[in-house]
């Protein structure tokens, strides 16, 4: 499911490329469903996530969002149940983890720049990681369309970006860009310094994030509160355990 070399890379760098886990046809089908949801939800798109008391930042102005994708079609099930993804999450978080949220983010043309940040309240230099993310590319990620940047190895830092940098929005000398074709998937330890870059093209740059946490942490989106009977009925016991809705 995940090789020894991949485990070593993930532990050393804080991120790992899993390759193209979605075919072009699957990418197109997901994007078609996303377009339907954006049209249906309008100004309320993403409201489930940003209404959560566990979100640390207000709704992002530079990107379109959708939330609660678990309950918006079986087409999204693979994003939190794929065996390669789960194997990588276990490397970072150990055996006891759950899905925190499943969301869509699309950097808008001319926008999308984020501060370098982590997805936890403090640095965890000695390990014991609490959160881990996967990013599923629904478009090619290029140097100019708002690709995610990561500073390898910073999951082991004793400081947060805001503590270590004069301006976390500026480029870091050691940062790399996630550059890969649509359908590719990356795992990144959410304690690694990361952030979106500016989309300088005239098209949206689309992705889905399946975000996991250890079982002792609150979910960004309370899956027990939101899970529908229809969703629960179609899911395997293992998938329900990942959602913590058993």
The CA radius of gyration of the chain, in Å to the nearest whole number, is 17
Tell me phi and psi for residue 103, to 5 degrees.
-135, 160
Q: Please write the tens of the pLDDT for every residue from 131-142.
A: 999 999 999 999
Backbone angles phi, psi at 102, to 5 degrees: -130, 110
Mean pLDDT of the chain: 95
pLDDT digit string (tens) for 151-175?
999 999 999 999 999 999 999 999 9
Three-state secondary-structure class, residue 43: helix
Beta partners for residue 212, in sequence order: 99, 132
- Domain 4-243 = CATH 2.60.120.620: yes
For residue range 214-225, list pLDDT tens digits in order: 999 999 999 999
């Amino acid at each position: 499911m995940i090789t020894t070399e991949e485990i070593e890379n993930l532990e050393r760098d804080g991120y790992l490329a899993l390759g193209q886990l979605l075919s072009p046809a699957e990418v197109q089908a997901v994007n078609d469903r996303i377009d339907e949801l954006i049209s249906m939800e309008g100004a309320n798109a993403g409201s489930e996530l940003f209404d959560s008391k566990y979100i640390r930042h207000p709704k992002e102005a530079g990107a379109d969002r959708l939330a609660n994708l678990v309950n918006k079609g079986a087409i999204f099930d693979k994003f939190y149940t794929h065996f390669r993804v789960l194997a990588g999450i276990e490397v970072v978080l150990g055996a006891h983890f759950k899905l925190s949220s499943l969301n869509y983010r699309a950097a808008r043309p001319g926008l999308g720049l984020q501060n370098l940040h982590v997805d936890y309240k403090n640095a965890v230099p000695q390990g014991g990681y609490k959160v881990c993310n996967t990013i599923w590319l629904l478009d090619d990620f290029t140097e100019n369309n708002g690709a995610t940047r990561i500073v390898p190895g910073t999951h082991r830092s004793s400081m947060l970006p805001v503590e270590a940098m004069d301006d976390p929005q500026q480029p870091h000398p050691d940062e790399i860009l996630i550059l890969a074709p649509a359908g590719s998937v990356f795992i990144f330890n959410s304690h690694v310094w990361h952030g979106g870059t500016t989309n300088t093209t005239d098209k949206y740059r689309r992705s889905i994030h399946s975000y996991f946490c250890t079982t002792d942490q609150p979910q960004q989106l309370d899956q027990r509160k939101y899970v529908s009977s229809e969703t629960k009925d179609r899911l395997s016991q293992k998938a329900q355990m990942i959602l913590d809705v058993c």
